[in-house]
Amino acid sequence: MIEHNASSNQDEPLLSVRELVAGYKGPVVGPLTFSVLPGEVLGVGGRNGSGKSTVLRAITGAARTFSGSIQRCAGLTVTHHQQRPELPPELPLLGRELLRVMHADRTDAPEIIQPLLDRPINQMSGGQFQLLQAWACLGGDAELVLLDEPTNNLDGRAIDALTAFIQTERPPRAVMLVSHEREFLAENCTRMIELGDENGSAEVHQDEMRRVSGGAGG
Amino acid sequence: MSDFILFDPMFRTQYFIGLLLAVSLSLVGAFLKLREEWLAALGLSHIAAAGGLAAGPLGIPVLASAFVFAGLAALIKGLLPRTDNSHYALMIFVGWGAALLLAANTHQGEVIGQALLRGQLYFTHTPHLVAAIILLAILLSALSWLSPKLLTERFFPDYFSANRLPAWRHRLLFGLLVVGAVVLGTLAMGAMAAFAMFVVPPWVAFVLVKGWRKALVLTVIIAAVAYTVAFVLAMLLDQPFGPTLAICLAATVSLRFLANRAAREQGAPAEGPLGGRQQLDQ
């Protein structure tokens, strides 16, 4: 069930999830209860198959909500960077044309994105396309950006750039970040949800995250 | 001689009908390729052919019958949660089987069936011209609204549901444009030639230029040139139009080979000769 708040401000959550049980043909994850505040980077960790991606897909409506509720602030704008975005084999779309689609064709695009602006996506590597898609989500005007395993295919320089993307312009933008890389989560997230084997959730604060992951900087 | 053929009042209307359809079909084909639904055009064209053959028994005009049949098939496709090449192959089998059975069992069925297979451009008249003008006018006027939505859906599939935006409007409009293009193309050019017009121009254009807009423009140019050459050759050599068009479109694929060869010589990344992409790892 999706609900909408009548109004929103900086103190109200962008998203309030209560007792959410979500999945596809059957439940995959939940019950989960959490909220996303303006300006925060909320990490979602957990083992493979624990339902991290399903949580994001439930928020976008691509997965089925079996019970519980997802309450959104009115007019919330959302973008979703999917895990392993498919690189279409023969489309001559330029990088800047892809960014324009998501209203992210800004003049101040990061340096690492600049060489991709006039390159057709069918001449990009998987990592370059992944980074371009991440910037298409983060460089636009969405208030909530959902990133699903955004470090896949990326080398160290690109991961550093992605970290910079995530850290810029928030608040007001909030990010939900799914990753199996605990160091990346620790470096970027202000708060964490850990999905357990029983699909329950336990919230872990950032300081604790750093201790668990060996004190990654950020 | 070719000037004479193209501007002969006897064939002028037919030439312009085909030219308008070449522009519409190739443009729609570019978006079908974007959505990786290009095989759907062949499925729908066979269903439209079956619809055209069913017009006699149903007692309705061929154009209307073909539109209803193809429209129903497109509606079923749209209602399915997910469609892929298997579903489009099923449409081809059903359409092909139904068309041949109707051809074998209806009055004048064999004649109409042959016409739908080979195309009957020379027998099209003012109603076809009006329909082709309407189709192209709607397509061109909607393009600046439709194109960003189809691109968004291709790269960010759940963008519309995530933002509670209605996706049914652009999906319905695109579906209607596909059905209209398939029906008019099948009746005028024949099922296989219409399919070639959907598939080949964007397939060639997409490796020749960089940029979506340029690719759309080149798609239309390739379609219009191949169509015009086919029209002249079919008249000059007294050949059926549909197969001549299919061969002329196939000949344009040589441009892909030339482009890929040039790219290889320059050490640039290239497509495989028949479409396989060689991904850069930089």
Q: Are B182 and B70 in contact (CB under 8 A)?
A: yes
Q: What's at B98, amino acid-wise? A: A
**Cross-chain CB nearest to B162 (options A60, A89, A91):** A60
Residues B196-211 have pLDDT tens digits of 999 999 999 999 999 9
Mark yes or no for CB contact B206/A126 under 8 Å.
Answer: no
Best of B33, B158, B209 to disrupt the A interface by mutation (most A CBs within 10 Å)? B158
Mark yes or no for CB contact B277/A122 under 8 Å.
Answer: yes
CA Rg value for chain B:
19
- Collect the ranges in chain A with pLDDT lower than 70: 1-11, 169-171, 197-218
Sign of CA dihedral B175, B177, B178, B180: positive
Residue A124's pLDDT is what? 86
CATH code of the region A38-50+78-212: 3.40.50.300
Q: Where are the domains of chain A?
A: 38-50+78-212
Q: Please identify, in words, the CATH class of the domain defined by B2-260.
A: mainly alpha
CA Rg value for chain A:
17
Q: Which residues of B touch A94 (CB under 8 A)?
A: 210-212
Q: Is B263 on the interface with A (CB under 8 A)?
A: no
Q: Are B204 and B255 in contact (CB under 8 A)?
A: yes
Instruction: Identify the three-state secondary structure at position B33.
Output: helix
**Cross-chain CB nearest to A92 (options B155, B159, B210):** B210
Strand duo A15-23 + A27-36: pairing: antiparallel
Residue A218's pLDDT is what? 31
- Collect the ranges in chain B with pLDDT lower than 50: 1-2, 270-282
Residue of chain B minimizing CA distance to A3 = B164
Instruction: Identify the three-state secondary structure at position A155.
Output: coil
Give the other-Cβ count within 10 Å of B7's Cβ: 10
CA distance linking residue A120 with residue A71, whole number of Å: 39
CA distance linking residue B44 with residue A36, whole number of Å: 46
Mark yes or no for CB contact A120/B276 under 8 Å.
Answer: no
Residues A98-118 have pLDDT tens digits of 999 888 877 777 888 888 899
Interface confidence, given as ipTM, is 0.82
